[in-house]
Amino acid sequence: MLSRMEPAPPIRFELRRGAVTALPLAVAVGLFGVSFGVLSASSGGMGALPAIVMSASTFAGSAQFAAASIVAGGGGAPAAIAAALLLNTRYLPIGVSVARFLPGGRLRRFAGAQLVVDESWAIASRGEGRFDPHRLVGAGVVLWLAWVGGTIAGVLGGEALGDPAALGLDAAFPALFLALVAPQLGSRPAIVAALLGAAIALALVPFTPPGVPIIAAASAALIGLVRR
Amino acid sequence: MSEAWAIVLAVGLGTMTIKAAGPVLLGDRPLPSSVQRVVALLAPALLAALVATAAFATTQQLTLDARAAGLAVAAVAIALRAPVLLVVVLAAATAALIRLAGS
């Protein structure tokens, strides 16, 4: 075998390094995939097959949970779509940050960009704004397999679980969102935006259809325009 | 059913476009700094709104139920630097136990 005679080429080394680094995270991501599958397959959810297709194509946990939570709360499709996409707008600057490190033509760059999630982006970071594209691909593929595989397992096992409220699954949503937002509250503008967003949403709940309060809360981000 | 597929299609295509926009169109030109600041604050604002509504709203009513206790336990666990998965499990278990005791 050639590969045994030669030293591992750097590309394959970085691919494997990305994949191995992602493995512990993949366990957690897989379990979140299970819970997304369970919630989607339970009554009032969006259904088994849509959940699996969504995990495979969207591949963004917090946006998928946001859409699922709005659907489960009785909100309509437009609100669920808007909230999920607004939440994913953070991939615009994240995508820009890796853009010049992705090799190949437009099609290959498009494919590589799909493997960018918060975790694979963090793993691919080499500091000082530089990124390793092969580490990104290795980590991204492992996390994608865990997310989609977990969703399938949750969909298959979820029907056997029974009433999600009795298991406290509805209380898992706010806890998950709190755990996701906590590490982002490192600056004063972020804390103000979060408090303002929560206040706007709660103030609107009695007066608007479910889902609308979340979208309106996005306007809290406009405080980023305030000069300090 | 068709509503679910509409969500899957729109969120899927939209997310793919957002993720690919920078690498395919922009190359290495940066976004204007004012846009960057607003985009950076979108996630905290939206996630906090999701925390609030997922914990304290039922369709169009503000409510205080077992989910609030779950959220309080989650906040303590996060402050103690528990891993995300443990945070979520603790919150769900808290709500489930309260409902079990109340029924």
Domain ranges of chain B: 1-30
Q: pTM, whole model, 2 decimals?
A: 0.78
Which of B35, B41, B64, B89 should be substituted to probe chain A, the one whose Cβ sees the most A Cβ atoms within 10 Å?
B41
The number of distinct structural domains making up chain A is 2
Sole residue written with tokens 């004063």: A188
For residues A52 and A159, state if they share a domain. yes
Query: What is the pLDDT, as a whole number, of residue B42?
Result: 86
Angle at CA of residue B14, ends B12 and B20, nearest 5°: 100
Chosen from B42, B87, B98 to mutate, greatest number of chain A CBs within 10 A: B42
Least trusted range by pLDDT, from A141-155, A172-186, B25-39: B25-39
Predicted local distance difference test score (pLDDT) of residue B31: 73
Average pLDDT over residues A177-198: 92
Statement to judge: residues A136 and A165 lie in one domain: yes
Q: Is the pLDDT of residue B11 over 90?
A: yes
Q: Which of residues 16-35 of B touch A (CB under 8 A)?
A: 16, 18-24, 26-31, 34
Q: Are residues A74 and A125 in the same domain?
A: yes
Helix (H) or strand (E) holding B58: strand B57-58
Q: Domain limits at A19?
A: 9-172
β-strands B57-58, B61-62 pairing: antiparallel
The 10s digit of each residue's pLDDT in B42-68 is 888 988 998 999 999 987 899 999 999
The whole-angstrom separation of Cα A199 and Cα A38 is 30
Report yes or no on A1 lying in a domain: no
| Average pLDDT for A202-222 | 90
Q: Are A172 and A181 in contact (CB under 8 A)?
A: no
Residues A214 and A83: beta-carbon distance below 8 Å: yes
Show Cβ contacts of residue B70 under 8 Å, excluding neighbours closer than 6 positions: A168, A171, A172, A174, A175, B55, B90, B91, B92, B94, B95
pLDDT of residue A154: 92
Do residue A202 and residue B62 have CB atoms under 8 angstroms apart?
Answer: yes
Asked if B72 is an interface residue toward chain A (Cβ–Cβ < 8 A), one would say: no
Which range in A12-21, A82-91, A130-139, B64-73 is most confidently predicted, on average pLDDT? B64-73
Q: Does pLDDT of A8 surpass 60?
A: no
Question: Is B88 close to A59, i.e. CB distance below 8 A?
Answer: no
Q: What are phi and psi of B57, to 5 degrees?
A: -125, 140
* A104: region left, alpha or beta (phi > 0 left; psi from -120 to 50 alpha): left
Q: Are residues A164 and A192 in the same domain?
A: no
- Give the tokens for residue A39: 């919630």
Predicted confidence (pLDDT) at residue A3 exceeds the cutoff of 50: no
